[in-house]
Structure 1
Amino acid sequence: MTTFHPFRESRLPSRGGIDDFDLVHHDGRLLAVCADAGGAVHTWDPAADEWRHHPLDMPFRSGDGMDFTEIDAIAAVVADGRIVVGGGAQHQPFALWDLETGAVRSHARLGHAGVGRARGGALGGRPVLLAGDSSAPPRLRVWDADGGDAAEPPEFLGGFDGTGDVAVAELGGVPVVVWGQWDGTVSVWDVEKGECVRNFAEPDIAVHGVGVATVDGAERVVAAGHDVVLLGDPATGVWSSPAEEDEEADDFDETGIRCMDTGAVAGRPIAVTGTAGGRVRMWDLTELRPVAEADAHERDVHAVRVTVLDGRTVAVTGGRDGFLRLWDLDSVAYR
């Protein structure tokens, strides 16, 4: 298996850990929007290696029992030319802000649970922010980044444990949301119809990463947890069996996968995972096997994104050691 190395890295100026981050392209630049271990929000411009701290207004009143803004799950999108961020924490409901001004755009009712995972994306061309509860049983809400707080966001209920990951995707030309949970539940939701269109057979893992990929010409749902990556058929809800791991893979971090994203390298579908032990792996989804790895961070990796930067496919990883690191996936040679 190939060992790969970051080609760029930068440390959070606060020296805190990175609990989560999301990526946006704004004014021709790639920006990472990060939540640090103290609940503060920062952006990093990897091209200029510049960090900015973004103070955010408190979305709740002091009498509501919340004395400060707490964010350990964050999502970001661009709406009407402005960066909109959404976030919350295990004990704080979701809220949306204008990143530049720090003004609150919308927020959840206090009756909403805390946030387990958040993700930004485009649903049928519309910028949205997904927020999955950390509670049991959890709810998933789809927030319109253009909207105010006049309307309640669409809300879905499923599974029996907290949210491990959420993703915006298209399956069969239909915009959908994929939702993975700690009890192994993975489901696909048609937001327009407001219904679950597929429940997958529960794998014997806590799911911490979900996405979609096209593998051998067929659309597949991807899920990750423990030390495996699985492919699911959205037509049947059945998972394929993971490939047998070789001896090199036997020492895969026992604390398991905590995040995943999907993409493609030279037309070949891949996934990138991060673990609670700081390891990053790139997986060939056609063969369902890891092809490159690195002991990437000294502490947990709780967020990874695959994107294109300067014409090459890269992974961005964020660790509780306070570093963001960039990995050139195009440089990984594997057969």
Structure 2
Amino acid sequence: MPDKPLLLASEIPSSTQIKDLAVVTMNDDPLVVCVDARDGVWTWDPARDVWRQRPLPFGYDEDIIRNYPDAKNRIDQMAVTVAGECVVLAAGHDEQPVAFWDLESGELLRGAIFDEGDYLGAVAAVRGPGPARFVSAGQNSDVLLLWEEPFDSWTLLSECVHVWSLATAEINGRSLVAGAEGSSALVWDLAQPGWEPVFKTTESAWAVSLCRVDDRPVVVAAADPGQLWVWEVPDMAEDCEHEDDAIEPRYAPINGQDGVMRVWGLPSR
């Protein structure tokens, strides 16, 4: 089968590797937000092929900034959402906790507090109506946090989980969050606190995604050794009889390649 034709290409002006990216809709047009290998944040307007660098203040709280006035952001993971006329960026690094910025003005909406949480492991924008929301997981902490604008505090979404990949979706009116943890994929429904169905793989799961199949929410996990696992996400009423029962996959794992599965530079989480 021939490759699909490339629609549009444009090189980032910094001429460096793009480490992460996300796409949002702003004024009915797509807007690509990305971070480069020098920790610079850029936006690309594909309709006009216009790039803009977005200078951001250092993402820590004022106490850290006073002690390190010349410090720069370290960003290798990011998520973006649109709230009214604002494009809100959540970003961090494995050596910098998550912080939040207004991308248009460059204002730091909420700085990272060093003593409050771990360095960033994964972050994703929550899909669905309402204020801007994000979920984040730390590098070493076993908690998943839910942030809501104005980001002055967080809500504990789950504990005793070590998530290293996140995905979100709004399906049938449900705001869903999926995470990869060890040999499991986990799903949270933000309207049903405490509901955590279990989706088990046989080896380590490295990435997850959510989609709709036959009008049902589906979670997909990429796992060693080169396999894709697919499960239907049940309603709470259809949950397993026992809390630790794993939900059966939709069909046998798909062998996508030989050898170990690895994932680099995942787009929007």
Measured against the shorter chain, the TM-score band is 0.7 to 0.9
- SS of equivalent residue, structure 1 residue 10: coil
Give runs of ≥4 in structure 1 deviating > 6 Å. Answer: none
Question: Contact between 2:170 and 2:176, CA under 8 Å: does it hold in 1?
Answer: yes
Q: Which residue of 2 aligns with 1:315?
A: none
**1:138/1:163 contact within 8 Å kept:** no
TM-score, normalized by length of structure 1?
A: 0.67
Work out whether residues 220 and 228 of structure 2, in 8 Å CA contact, stay in contact via their aligned partners in 1.
yes
Give 2:221's match in structure 1, choosing from 220, 223, 232.
223
Contact 1:130 1:166 in 2 (8 A): no
Equivalent residue runs for 1:165-314 within 5 Å: 165-170=166-171, 173-181=173-181, 183-214=182-213, 216-226=214-224, 227-235=226-234, 237-239=247-249, 240-243=251-254, 252=257, 256-258=261-263, 276=264, 302-304=265-267
Structure 1 residue matching 2:253: 3-state secondary structure: coil
Kindly indicate whether residue 126 of structure 2 is the aligned counterpart of residue 121 of structure 1. Answer: yes
Contact in 1 for aligned 2:174/2:189 (Cα 8 Å): yes
Q: Against the structure 1 CA distance between its residues 126 and 228, is the aligned structure 2 distance closer, same or farther, given a 3 Å change threshold? A: farther
**Which one scores higher on RCO, CA 8 angstroms, separation ≥ 6?**
1
Quote the residue 2:40 is aligned against.
40
Deviation readout 1:121-178 (Å, 9 max, x if unpaired): 324544322222222x53222221x3141x3344422434x4122323336x432211
Distance in 1, Cα, partners of 2:191 & 2:11: 40
Confirm or deny that 1:49 pairs with 2:52: no
Given that 1:119 and 1:167 are in contact with CA atoms closer than 8 Å, whether structure 2 keeps it comes out as: yes
Stretches of structure 1 that go unaligned for 5 or more consecutive residues are 259-275, 277-301, 307-335
Tell me the CA shift for residue 113 of structure 1: 1.1
- For residues 35-78 of structure 1, the C-alpha deviation after alignment (integer angstroms, 9 at most, x for no partner) is 11121110011111111000111132236779221111111111
Q: Deviations over 1:198-234 (max 9, x none)?
A: 12124413321321322x4543222223433221132
Query: Matched residues in 2 for 1:191 and 1:123: separation?
Result: 10
Looking at structure 2, the residues matched to 106 and 73 of structure 1 have their Cα atoms a distance apart, in angstroms, of 17
In structure 2, the gaps of 5 or more residues are 235-239, 241-246
Distance 2:211 2:67 in 1: 39
Q: How many pairs align?
A: 251
Higher strand proportion (structure 1 or 2): 1
C-alpha separation in 2, matches of 1:231 and 1:68: 41
Q: What SS is found at the alignment partner of 2:158?
A: strand
- Provide the C-alpha distance between the structure 2 equivalents of 1:129 and 1:38, rounded to a whole number of angstroms: 24
The residue type equivalent to 2:65 in the other structure is S
TM-score (ref. length: structure 2): 0.81
Cα distance change of structure 1 residues 105 and 207 upon mapping to structure 2, 3 Å threshold? same
Q: CA RMSD in A?
A: 2.7
